């Protein structure tokens, strides 16, 4: 403050408002989600498709990011095929937004019957029988919110979670996600220790494996042939506890018919002490999940952000 003039020094500092400070934004978001929950799934998804059409026709960052991701991930597709995949993806993104209402507000009696088919349940059963805990890796595909609902409704479950950018909706989100008995722990040292304890108690745990771990939480590993910062946390959990790692996808069925749940095995390399081997296996598993329903992946996420030196940043080019 020594460089301020006397008159300026007498002024009270004005705190700059950020999104996190604005409680009204959290209240507005909560209001929208509650309103979405009042609709049956068919009308909810129709509204989601409406949002998707707006994303298709209006300039927006979600469309721009998804378009760039699709172009580098699927170079063999023609321009027309890439555009078709982009449009389908934005329609699915709209559904993902509106489905948060039912997923955060409905009862388990309303939600669980929506899962019409389960593929690979025997993998989860065998992993639980192994008595060393299970870590479920659920990428951002389809209705990934339903993954935690299914698991916490049937098993003792603990999940790592990252606080939302809008902090004023955090308490509502945590209450919604934990209302069926699942425990939410933050992505810090305390949360990691809690998750390890849960695994040693033979609990089911869950992580989103395709999030950017930041500069210190991962290494660069190939994702669809392009380097992406990839988390090493999963391999450390497996090494520490001997738990079984499985992938999990909640595919959205057409015409509001419900969902199809997939459990997929993880490559043994995911437990390697070589971080590149482990993260390459992790990303290969995510790729296999995406292959089930590529139009339902969250392509609007900057998965290739902060590339290594010498690699073009596709989001800036």
49: pLDDT strictly greater than 90: yes
| Section 217-239 average pLDDT | 96
Residues 128 and 82 in one domain: no
Condensed to tens digits (0 to 9), the pLDDT of residues 163-175 reads 877 788 888 889 9
Nearest residue to 274 via CA among 222, 224, 235, 216: 235
Q: CB–CB of 234/209 below 8 Å?
A: yes
Query: Is residue 12 a part of any domain in this protein?
Result: no
Nearest residue to 103 via CA among 36, 15, 184, 167: 36
123: pLDDT strictly greater than 70: yes
Q: The domain that contains 171 carries what CATH number? A: 3.40.50
Residues 85 and 199 in one domain: no
Q: Per-residue confidence at 19, pLDDT binned at 50, 70, 90?
A: very low
Query: Is residue 302 a part of any domain in this protein?
Result: no
Domain end: 103, 127, 145, which one? 103
Cα–Cα distance for residue pair 293/139, rounded to 1 Å: 12
CA-based angle 95:136:149, to the nearest 5? 50
Residues 59 and 116 in one domain: no
Condensed to tens digits (0 to 9), the pLDDT of residues 71-117 reads 999 999 999 999 999 999 999 999 999 999 999 999 999 999 999 99
Residues 82 and 122 in one domain: no
40: pLDDT strictly greater than 90: yes
Predicted pLDDT at 24: 82
Cα–Cα distance for residue pair 65/72, rounded to 1 Å: 11
Residues 119 and 263 in one domain: yes
Q: Per-residue confidence at 27, pLDDT binned at 50, 70, 90?
A: confident
Query: Is residue 312 a part of any domain in this protein?
Result: no
Q: CB–CB of 232/219 below 8 Å?
A: yes
Cα–Cα distance for residue pair 33/96, rounded to 1 Å: 12
Q: The tokens 């992938």 sit on which residue?
A: 247
Cα–Cα distance for residue pair 180/175, rounded to 1 Å: 9
Percent of the chain with pLDDT over 90: 83
Predicted pLDDT at 21: 52
Q: CB–CB of 192/205 below 8 Å?
A: no
Say which range, 9-23, 30-44, 85-99, 259-273, has the weakest mean pLDDT: 9-23
Domain end: 67, 84, 103, which one? 103
Cα–Cα distance for residue pair 95/55, rounded to 1 Å: 12
Query: Is residue 65 a part of any domain in this protein?
Result: yes
Predicted pLDDT at 134: 97
Structure tokens at 67: 């378009």
Query: Is residue 73 a part of any domain in this protein?
Result: yes
Residues 135 and 81 in one domain: no
Q: What is the CA radius of gyration of the chain?
A: 21
Predicted pLDDT at 2: 36
What distances in angstroms separate CA 1 from CA 8, 15, 17, 100, one per listed residue? 9, 15, 21, 46
Residues 42 and 133 in one domain: no
Number of domains the chain is built from: 2
Query: Is residue 248 a part of any domain in this protein?
Result: yes
Residues 39 and 145 in one domain: no
Q: CB–CB of 199/206 below 8 Å?
A: no
Cα–Cα distance for residue pair 171/155, rounded to 1 Å: 23
Query: Is residue 2 a part of any domain in this protein?
Result: no
Residues 217 and 271 in one domain: yes
| Section 121-142 average pLDDT | 97
Residues 118 and 162 in one domain: yes
Residues 151 and 199 in one domain: yes
Domain end: 61, 80, 103, which one? 103
Percent of the chain with pLDDT over 70: 93
18: pLDDT strictly greater than 70: no
Cα–Cα distance for residue pair 57/301, rounded to 1 Å: 19
DSSP state of 142: B
23: pLDDT strictly greater than 90: no
Query: What is the residue-averaged pLDDT of the chain?
Result: 92
Residues 198 and 259 in one domain: yes
Mode of pairing for the β-strands spanning 134-137 and 204-207? parallel
Q: Enumerate helices (H) and strands (E) in the chain, giving the number of each.
A: 12, 9
Say which range, 61-70, 98-107, 211-220, has the weakest mean pLDDT: 211-220
Predicted pLDDT at 269: 97
Would you call 70 helix, strand, or coil by DSSP? helix
Query: Is residue 5 a part of any domain in this protein?
Result: no
Structure tokens at 237: 């959990």
Domain of 188 in residue numbering reads as 111-296
Any alpha helices (H) in the chain, and if so which ranges?
Answer: 6-9, 23-37, 41-57, 61-73, 79-105, 108-111, 121-129, 145-154, 170-177, 189-200, 233-241, 275-292
């Amino acid at each position: 403050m020594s460089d301020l003039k006397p008159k300026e020094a007498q002024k009270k500092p004005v705190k700059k408002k950020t999104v996190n400070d604005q409680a009204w934004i959290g209240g507005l978001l909560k209001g929208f989600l509650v309103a979405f929950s009042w609709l049956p799934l068919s009308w909810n998804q129709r509204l989601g498709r409406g949002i998707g059409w707006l994303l298709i026709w209006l300039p927006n960052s979600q469309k721009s990011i998804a378009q760039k991701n699709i172009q580098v991930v699927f170079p063999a597709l023609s321009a027309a095929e890439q555009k078709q995949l982009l449009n389908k993806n934005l329609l699915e993104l709209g559904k993902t937004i509106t489905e948060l209402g039912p997923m955060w507000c409905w009862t388990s009696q309303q939600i669980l019957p929506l899962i019409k088919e389960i593929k690979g349940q025997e993998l989860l059963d065998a992993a639980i029988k192994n008595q060393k805990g299970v870590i479920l890796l659920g990428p951002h595909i389809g209705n990934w919110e339903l993954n935690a609902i299914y698991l916490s409704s049937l098993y003792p479950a603990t999940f790592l979670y990252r606080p939302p950018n809008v902090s004023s909706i955090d308490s509502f989100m945590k209450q919604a996600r934990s209302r069926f008995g699942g425990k939410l722990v933050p992505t810090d040292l305390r949360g990691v220790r809690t998750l390890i304890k849960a695994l040693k108690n033979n609990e089911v745990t869950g992580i989103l494996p395709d999030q950017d771990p930041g500069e210190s939480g991962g290494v660069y590993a190939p994702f669809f042939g392009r380097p992406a910062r990839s988390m090493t946390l999963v391999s450390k959990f497996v090494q520490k506890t001997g738990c079984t790692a499985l992938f999990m996808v909640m595919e959205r069925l057409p015409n509001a018919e419900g969902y199809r749940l997939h459990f997929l095995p993880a490559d043994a390399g995911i437990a390697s002490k070589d971080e590149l081997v482990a993260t390459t296996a992790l990303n290969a598993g995510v790729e296999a999940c995406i292959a089930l329903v590529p139009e339902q992946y969250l392509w609007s996420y900057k998965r290739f952000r902060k590339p290594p030196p010498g690699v073009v940043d596709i989001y800036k080019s």
